[in-house]
Amino acid sequence: MRAAEVHSDITEVLVTEEQILERLKEIAAQVDADYAGKDLLLVGVLKGAIMVMADFSRALKLVAPIDWMAVSSYGKGTKSSGVVQIRKDLDTDLTGKHVLIVEDIIDSGLTLSWLLENFESRGAESIEVFALLRKPDAAKVEVNCRYVGFDIPNDFVVGYGLDYAERYRNLRDVAVLAPHVYS
Ligand code: XMP
Ligand code: MG
């Protein structure tokens, strides 16, 4: 489904599917070079990262296993609570692994900084972050993010895995949700 098909629910398309796939190719080439010869593990953060993981992992030339973590800090609203809960932990032992966390979006940064701290104690060789989207104006804590797809304005966005109350994840593009949908 393209953004045009739900045009009354959105105010603006920020990043199109084509722009995302183009950018993923560039970042995949960088990651291929940076992790050559290393034991890379991709860790996706459910559920928002499902689309970016699917497209990014297939753009890589490296063979890399994929694991998933489910955390929640949001509930139904549009603001981060900062209280993070593990809903599903990793299946993989991180000892000696080079971990690349794949995230949909860094908003306040609270979720990722919590996750990074949690991962530090698990014996990984290295931990880096790839976020498809980042809202620089919303940052409450500094997160060391090695790969960023797009910096975007401080609006609530949906699509390409990102939801509002579980809806719009299957939108191909990233778009700003119209305030009348959530207010
Ligand atoms: P924080 O604020 O902790 O946010 O960096 C992390 C998680 O919150 C979700 N999030 C969003 N989801 N549109 C969404 O659909 C947004 O604009 C948005 N901002 C944050 C997302 O799951 C992210 O991983
Ligand atoms: Mg997320």
pLDDT of 100-125, one tens digit each? 999 999 999 998 999 999 998 999 99
| Token pair 């996706």 in the structure block, residue | 44
Structure tokens at 19: 């722009």
CA–CA distance, 100 with 43 (Å, rounded to integer): 6
Could you give the domains of the chain? Answer: 17-152 (3.40.50.2020)
Please, which residues have CB less than 5 A from ligand 2, an ion?
A: 45, 48, 104
Preceding omega of 47 cis (within 30 degrees of 0): yes
From ligand 2's centre to the CA of 64, what distance in Å? 21
55, 104, 107, 173: the catalytic one is 107
From ligand 2's centre to the CA of 71, what distance in Å? 8
Asked if pLDDT for residue 23 goes beyond 90, the answer is yes
107 catalytic residue (yes or no): yes
For 33-42, the pLDDT digits (tens) are 999 999 999 9
Q: Which amino acid is at 10?
A: I
Give the pLDDT score at 137: 93
Give the pLDDT score at 7: 83
Q: Which pTM does this prediction carry?
A: 0.93
Asked if pLDDT for residue 180 goes beyond 90, the answer is yes
Across the chain, mean pLDDT equals: 93
Q: What is the CA radius of gyration of the chain?
A: 16
CA–CA distance, 105 with 161 (Å, rounded to integer): 10
